[in-house]
Structure formats: structure tokens, C-alpha cells
Structure 1
Amino acid sequence: MGFLQLLVVAVLASEHRVAGAAEVFGNSSEGLIEFSVGKFRYFELNRPFPEEAILHDISSNVTFLIFQIHSQYQNTTVSFSPTLLSNASETGTASGLVFILRPEQSTCTWYLGTSGIQPVQNMAILLSYSERDPIPGGCNLEFDLDIDPNIYLEYNFFETTIKFAPANLGYARGVDPPSCDAGTDQDSRWRLQYDVYQYFLPENDLTEEMLLKHLQRMVSVPQVKASALKVVTLTANDKTSVSFSSLPGQGVIYNVIVRDPFLNTSAAYVPAHTYACSFEAGEGSCVSLGRVSSKVFFTLFALLGFFICFFGHRFWKTELFFIGFIIMGFFFYILITRLTPIKYDVNLILTAVAGSVGGMFLVAVWWRFGILSICMLCVGLVLGFLISSVTFFTPLETGSLSVTHAELQ
């Protein structure tokens, strides 16, 4: 019995050592927060700002560091100095800073904090890079930080858009950075390429633990390539902005890997995540998803579609109305969504009105002219909509049909 107890204790101790090599738990109230390169650290931030963080024993082979801190929905701030400056700090649920190291520098300090009332649970990590690696956000001209490795995410009910600053070529300690605008040849930043990756969290799981666990797979280049789906590759001539369909309530993590094809090196930006909903707002809250208007509209639409599937040709004019409704409603919904800022419920009502007009128009065309080929052409068009929609949710679209990602310049 004594031998068995000793064996259990030994196993538990070994598991503890393995876990500690990857994750460190702590609380910012203890004072100075110490970090190690490549190790995740969990801790809680409390008011007031700031808490000092430090990294010791930086290798001489390291040219720059990227620090990133993540929380589920409460904002945290990371800053180069105790005084918050717009060009020296970043605030958000996914915030990062790039530290360009000086010659002989072996220690790095920065500051963390939150302006929220409630304590914020965070996960943070430091990643190191050499002089051959490209610097994410090194040619930033749009955002506040001089070097900005962050991905900026915006969403509404229909669309999620990510933006990021262009990268620059790597360089050694104590050397001036390469110019961002000195020509567009292959010796400049214009040779860099950007791979955009998308990672879906488990469905119907909005817990903080699940998010922070899966974020660990999206911070470094090897992990991102192994875990996420590459959506598109951008060149330096493309806009550093990509749009996706919003999926309210579904957690999604986005990241960008910048590659230098000449040196065969790469670096990862700071990943950003979204649920396309708010954890705090009343309307559109993540905990109360599903609008009544959507449920009523699509339930009635599904019942009509069920009827058409089994009895359509017996009620020919009803089938024509249904087809005309789909075609007109489909195009009208896209137009008013892209061109107007009206609310979702109003959008749905106008779509129903436009669809009804389209359905009555197709019935009127059949009643006046009686041309079967025109009506069947509309039916075939709806079938094409269905096939293309299914195709857009398969690996075929995300892999080989890159033309579908092209945007109008």
C-alpha cells in the first residue's frame, strides 16, 4: 500500500512539472510580474493602473520581442511607461507591443493595467525573434503605435473585418530600420507576404477558460499553421484588410503570419478574437442570441418551403410566388445591407416586402404571357444560389478558389 501511494505522488509531481513548463499562474497584486520567453502566464489584473512586468536574461541572438495579453471581453492596457501615451500603449481584449532591443540589452520592462471596475483574468506571453525575421506592424502608418503588431477587428451583425499594419524587414540590434518607402524592389518590405488564418472555437461554449485555452494555439507561427485554416494570402500590394461573414455567438480567432520568402522566415501578429456579439450589451448580447423577428420570419419561410417541396407543382402559382420571393428578397437584402445603415428588424421587414413584390411580379408574368421557359429559368437561378452557398462552406472554396476572396479595388 505504501509503494502505491509513493507511485501516485511521483506521477502527480511529474505532471505538475510538465504543466509548469508551459503555463505559470499568478496574481498581479503580488507586485512585480516576471515573464519568461515562450511561456504562457495566467494572472488577474486589478485597478489601479499600472502593474510593472519584467523579463530578465534576454539572449543576445534576440533582436525584438512581441508581448501580448488576452482577455475575453474586458479591456486591458499594456504600455511602455507608467504614463499612458497614445503612441506608447495599447488597450483592448487582445493587446500587444513590439520591443526593439538595444545592443547589450538583456532586461525589458513594461506596464499592465485595466480601467474596469471588476478584476480581469488575463493570459499573456512573450515571443522572441531574430534579426532575420520580419517585424509585424513595422511599417505602420494608420494606427497610433510606431510599430503595431495588433490586429484590429470590427464587426456588425452581417460582417467581421480585420485590419493590420504592414510589416517591415528585420534588422540587427543598433542598426537603423529599413525604409518603408524606399522603392518597391525585392530588397524592400514589398517582398513580404501575409497569410491570414481563421480558427473556430467549439460551438456553444462562451466560457473564458475555453477561449484562453484555444488562444494558445494561435500565438506562434508553428501553432497557427498546425491548428488554423489559412483563408487568403496577401501581398504588399494588397490592402491589409480582410472581411468575413459574422457568426453571432460563434467564437472565432484570427491571426496573420508575415513571411519573408527570400530568407524563409516568418513572424506572427497578435491574434484577435470575436463572438460577433457583446457580453455586456442588452440587445445582441451573447447570452440572449436569437431575435424574435428572425425566428418568426424564417419559421414561416421554412413552412412555405416545406409545402412547395411536396405540393409545389399542384399549386403552380404558389411555387412561382415562392421563387420570385427568394430572388427579389435575396438581391434586395444584399443591397440595403451594404448601402444603408438601417437596423436588422427594419431590414427584414423591407426584405419581406420586396420579396412579396418579386413573387407577385413572377406570377403576373406567368398569368400574362404563359412562357414556361422564363419561369423555369428563375427556378434554375435559385438552384444555382443553393449550390454556390453550399460550395462557399466547403474546403474547396477556402483552398483552391482564391478568386472568391478578391475585393474590388
Structure 2
Amino acid sequence: MLQCLVEKMIRSWKCLLYIWILNFCSKVQASTDPEIVVDLNNEQPGFVTNNYQQLSNCSTYVITVLNFNPNVKFFIIQVHSFHENLTLSYENPVNTNSFTSGQNIGLVWMQQFSTKFGSLNNNSVNFYLFRRGTILNNLDILLSVSTYAENDPVPGGCNLSFETEIAPYQKITTSSNTITVLSQPPSIFESLCDRSDIQTDMYFLYLKEHNNNADEYFRGIEQMMSPANITKYGTRVIEALTSTKFKQMYSRYAGTGRVFAIVSTYKNKTSAYVPTVSYSCDLHLWEEDCLGPNGVYWKLVTAFLLVCGLILCFVGHRLFKISLFIIGYTFGVFIMLIVLTVDDDFNETGKTVYALVMGGFFAITWVFLWWKFGVPVIAVELTFLLSGFILSSIIFYSPLGNIMTFATDGTFWILFATIILLLQIPLVCLKSSYNIVALSLIGSYAFVVAMNFYFGGYLPYIFINMYRRMIVKDFGLAVIDPPYEMMDIAQTILWILIFGIGIFVQYKYSIGKPPFPPHRNIVVLNILNERTPLLIGEQPPAYSA
């Protein structure tokens, strides 16, 4: 209780200090504040104007919106910047609950509340834009005004927690696995907090993969400004995942920009929230945070994954003990990563290093069990489990993963386990061909994941999203829907080719040989050659592994 009180006091002091700084700066520059004029040309409601402006080294700007039609009952003014946070306010000097800050911000103006939402003077209204912190360079911004009629729903009109009375903007929080987009419910014009009969739909639009160009950034925002463009260019979040629509969770894909938009509908009238953008990473650390880990450590891991993938895919069945070691190592690392998520004593690097070390012990133990007991069914069980895991993950990586039935953890994991168990049926036959297919699937996927490190793409998220489902709370309600671009198409084709070639090569050199390497302690059933089972103690046929 005391800690919560202290945190509230600190937040209050920070807010008051920030307001004091803005007020001080505004008094110093009040006489020289440059003006930005937005002329609505007396257009009817539904008009959207986009203006690109370049802010100089001044810290305060006056935005004047003028000549709006009498039928315009409210409008939304929004400002978008690239890399830099701005503050948009109704007043100068600013007061509490009169401003909002960020890179994608906006405010609502209403006629009947003109004294509260900006003063009306000669059919014009003023807003104030502030640049914060140290100003070093000019800044390009996109300034837009959208006009609406009386029957249009008011975005964020039923605000419960954001800083302004009406909050048409969105806020984004990012973790290592997810993006959460926060917004406030809409209202109807006559009553600022009446959500009855208002339908709200969430949309998103991917920008080009690993592109941090400002032109691409602003192009994506312009495409998600109006309700018509949002429905045209955006991807709608299915209704099944919007039970908590004003706190919508998305799977994180670092380095790819994503524009989030909201459309509210009331009696066939629509309005749009201020779109917001996230790259799921720190743009100031583009190489390190957005393009993935690039250190020597990760290059070694990727090279190891590449070599192991080729071995499993092309000679895994012939080099049986080596494939057992690789499969055991992979399985051990995966299990340890899941177990270590419940331990807060390890950071991400510590968890990875510890999992890699323990994976080695698990692999050695698995090879030892084969050397000691030599039971083929047990030896290849991990191979079939991992191949079944990959196939199940592919299914839920597709749009099927966003069906509401699978949002419930119980239903999801029962179906997921059922698919894996069904893929264990061929194991009973102990045929070489089944083990070859399983090894080629795992090896070809490992090869593609390794290639992704150098060329980009999203196929590694087939595995990563399933891992997130295991460790992230309520991840079943997250929007998976990954981008699937030209690089992903090329890698999918490569994956299929490597998979097919691996099956062909391994099967060609396994014809006429026992299904699995014979062992001194087992009875080998050579089903491929339809031989009579060996008697205990009989010398098995020669097999070159």
C-alpha cells in the first residue's frame, strides 16, 4: 500500500514538473511562436486533410484550424512524427488533462464544448504543438484533420484512464514477446460515455520488412487515416479475439513496422481513431535490437544450427548416433528454456547459456541410453516428437491459430497433443522411411531458420510463437497473423526443396539395410526385407553406419 502511494506521488510530481517546464518555455517564446494553418475550405463532414510540415528548432508551434463547415460537429486533429515524441495541447500554457504526448497523437474538438476543447474565434480554433528535450535537427511531421457529423461515433469518448477527457489516440506497450495496444471505448455525440450499439473493429497493416525509412512510415499512416482506407488496406482482427479489444495483444515481430487502427460504427456512421505505429523494437538501436542478435555468439549458434540441419536432413539416418545427439541436444535446450522461464534469477542471456549447457548433458545421456539398451522405439521417440511439434506448430502458425476455439488453453493443448500423438503411430512399424521423413523435416527446418539469420524472414516464428504460447500468459488471445512476404515465400520453396532432396538422398542409401542399426542387446526386426526375427544371441547382419 505504501509503495503504491509513493509511486502515485512520484508520477504526480513528474507530471507537474513537465507542465512547469512547458509553461516556462511557452512564456519565453510566446511572442515568436510560428503558426501552422490548416484550412478545411468549408468542406462537409467526412473530409480528411493531410499536410506535411517541417518543424525547425523552435520548441512551440501554434496550429490554427479554420473555415470548417457548420455541419461539422467535431473533428480530430492528429500529429505523427518519426523518431521523436511531441506534445499536442488545447492550451498554452498547458494544464493537467489538456495535452497528450507521443509520436502518434491527437485531440478532439467539439462545437458545444468549444471553451473546453479549444476556444473558437472567427471560425477558427488554435492548438499548440511542443517539441521536447534537446532540439538538434529539423523534424518532418504529418498533420491531419478529420471532420465528422453529429451522428458519427466519437473515438475515445468514453475515456476511463487516459490523460485527456476524450482520447482518440492509442498507446502501445512492448515486451519481449508481445505488443499490447491500449485504447478507450467510443461514445455517441450527445453523451460522452454511452457505448450502446457502437461496434468497434481493430485493424493492422504491416509495413515493408526491416524497412525503417520515414517515407514508408508516413505512407502506412496515410493508408490508415479514414475508415474507408482502413477497411481497404488494413487486416481486420477477427471478432473472436476482440473480447478485450481495448487492450488488444499481438505477437511481436521485431524490425517490421505495423500500423494499428480502430474503426467505430454507429447506425452505419463510422469514425476512425488516430493510427499508431510500432516496430516492436528501439529504432535508435536498429542494428542491435531490430535486425536481431548480430554478435559473434549468435553467429556461432547459427553456424552450428546450419551444420546440424544439413546432417539431419541428408545423412541423419546413416549417422544414427550423431542424429541422436543432435535431436537430444535440441530437445534438452527446448525443455530447459521452458523450465527456466519460471525462474526470475536468470536474465535472457543467462537462460540461453544455461539451456545450451544443459542441452549437452541431455544429449550425452540420450546417446548413452541407446548404447546401453539399444531400443529403437525409445531412441527415435524424440525425433518423432519434434517432427510432430513442428507440424502442429505449422498448423497453428496459419490463420487457424486465430480461431476462438483455440484461444482457450484447454482446447488448444488437447488438440495440439492429439496431433503429435497421431504422428507417433508410424513409430510402431519401425520403418526406415518414417524416421527418414522425420529427420528430413527437422533438418530442413533448422537449415531454413539458420538461413533466416542472414536473409531475414518470419518462418522461425513457427517455433517461436508456439514457445510463446507455452510461457506467455493469455497468449491465446494474441493476434498471431504473421507477415508473409517475398522472402518468406522464397524460404518456403527452399524448405520444401531441401526437405524433398533430403528424403530422396537418405532413402536411396538406406534401401536393403536394416531399419535401424543393430545392437548387441536387442532383437532387430528387419521389416524392410521381411526377414524372420533374429533369435536372441544370433549375430545380426553387418551394417555400415
Quickly name the TM-score band, shorter chain normalised.
0.7 to 0.9
5+ residue gaps in structure 1?
A: 1-27, 180-188
- Report runs of 4+ in structure 1 exceeding 6 Å deviation: none
Contact 2:76 2:145 in 1 (8 A): yes
Moved more, 117-126 or 278-287: 278-287
**Structure of larger gyration radius:** 2
> How far 1:50 sits from its partner (Å)?
2.4
CA–CA distance in 2 between the matches of 1:47 and 1:130? Answer: 37
CA–CA distance in 2 between the matches of 1:107 and 1:313? Answer: 77
Moved more, 349-358 or 199-208: 349-358
Please point out which of 229, 232, 247 is paired with 1:226: 232
Partner of 1:244: 250
> How far 1:361 sits from its partner (Å)?
4.3
Partner of 1:6: none
Q: What is the letter of the counterpart of residue 130 of structure 1?
A: A
Please list, as runs of the form range in 1=range in 2, the aligned pairs for 1:81-100 lying within 5 A after superposition.
81-100=91-110
* Aligned residues: CA RMSD: 3.2
Contact 1:259 1:267 in 2 (8 A): yes
> How far 1:275 sits from its partner (Å)?
2.0
Partner of 1:52: 62
Q: Secondary structure at the match of 2:93?
A: coil
| Aligned residue pairs, count | 365
Q: 1:237 to 1:289 in 2, by over 3 A?
A: closer
Partner of 2:173: 154
Please point out which of 125, 130, 137 is paired with 1:113: 130
Q: What is the letter of the counterpart of residue 70 of structure 1?
A: H
Partner of 1:320: 324
CA–CA distance in 2 between the matches of 1:164 and 1:158? Answer: 20
Partner of 2:88: 78
> How far 1:43 sits from its partner (Å)?
0.4
Partner of 2:154: 135
> How far 1:269 sits from its partner (Å)?
1.8
What do the CA deviations read for 1:308-357 (whole angstroms, capped 9, x no partner)?
A: 11121223232223223333433443554576485443332133134334
CA–CA distance in 2 between the matches of 1:381 and 1:259? Answer: 47
> How far 1:282 sits from its partner (Å)?
8.3
Q: What is the letter of the counterpart of residue 183 of structure 2?
A: F
> How far 1:290 sits from its partner (Å)?
3.0
Q: What is the letter of the counterpart of residue 325 of structure 1?
A: Y
Q: 1:340 to 1:48 in 2, by over 3 A?
A: farther
Q: Secondary structure at the match of 1:346?
A: helix
Please list, as runs of the form range in 1=range in 2, the aligned pairs for 1:258-277 lying within 5 A after superposition.
258-260=264-266, 263-277=267-281
Q: TM-score, length-normalised on structure 1? A: 0.77
> How far 1:89 sits from its partner (Å)?
0.9
Q: 1:382 to 1:289 in 2, by over 3 A?
A: closer
Q: 1:59 to 1:332 in 2, by over 3 A?
A: farther
Q: Secondary structure at the match of 1:202?
A: strand
Please state if 1:198 is matched with 2:204: yes
Structure with the largest fraction of helix: 2
Q: What is the letter of the counterpart of residue 89 of structure 2?
A: S
Percent identity between the two aligned chains: 25
CA–CA distance in 2 between the matches of 1:130 and 1:291? Answer: 55
CA–CA distance in 2 between the matches of 1:341 and 1:47? Answer: 46
Please point out which of 207, 210, 218 is paired with 1:212: 218
Structure with the largest fraction of strand: 1
Partner of 1:253: 259
Please state if 1:171 is matched with 2:175: no
Please point out which of 321, 340, 350 is paired with 1:346: 350
Contact 1:154 1:161 in 2 (8 A): yes
Contact 2:39 2:67 in 1 (8 A): no
Q: 1:405 to 1:229 in 2, by over 3 A?
A: farther
Contact 1:46 1:114 in 2 (8 A): no
Q: What is the letter of the counterpart of residue 177 of structure 1?
A: L
Please state if 1:42 is matched with 2:52: yes
Moved more, 96-105 or 36-45: 96-105
CA–CA distance in 2 between the matches of 1:193 and 1:332? Answer: 44
Partner of 1:22: none
> How far 1:155 sits from its partner (Å)?
2.1
CA–CA distance in 1 between the matches of 2:248 and 2:372? Answer: 47
CA–CA distance in 2 between the matches of 1:223 and 1:77? Answer: 26
Q: 1:32 to 1:290 in 2, by over 3 A?
A: same
> How far 1:405 sits from its partner (Å)?
5.1
CA–CA distance in 2 between the matches of 1:373 and 1:152? Answer: 53
Contact 2:177 2:252 in 1 (8 A): yes
Contact 2:106 2:169 in 1 (8 A): yes
Q: What is the letter of the counterpart of residue 301 of structure 1?
A: L
CA–CA distance in 2 between the matches of 1:328 and 1:267? Answer: 52
What do the CA deviations read for 1:29-83 (whole angstroms, capped 9, x no partner)?
A: 8524224351110002234442111222323333322221111111111111112
Moved more, 304-313 or 237-246: 237-246
Please state if 1:65 is matched with 2:75: yes
> How far 1:299 sits from its partner (Å)?
2.0
CA–CA distance in 1 between the matches of 2:125 and 2:335? Answer: 55
Partner of 1:20: none
Contact 2:180 2:248 in 1 (8 A): yes
CA–CA distance in 2 between the matches of 1:140 and 1:339? Answer: 37
Partner of 1:18: none
Q: Secondary structure at the match of 2:249?
A: strand
Q: 1:278 to 1:86 in 2, by over 3 A?
A: farther
Contact 1:197 1:232 in 2 (8 A): no
Q: 1:85 to 1:346 in 2, by over 3 A?
A: farther
Please state if 1:306 is matched with 2:310: yes
Contact 2:199 2:264 in 1 (8 A): yes
> How far 1:367 sits from its partner (Å)?
4.4
Q: What is the letter of the counterpart of residue 151 of structure 1?
A: Q
Contact 2:62 2:126 in 1 (8 A): yes
Moved more, 333-342 or 219-228: 333-342
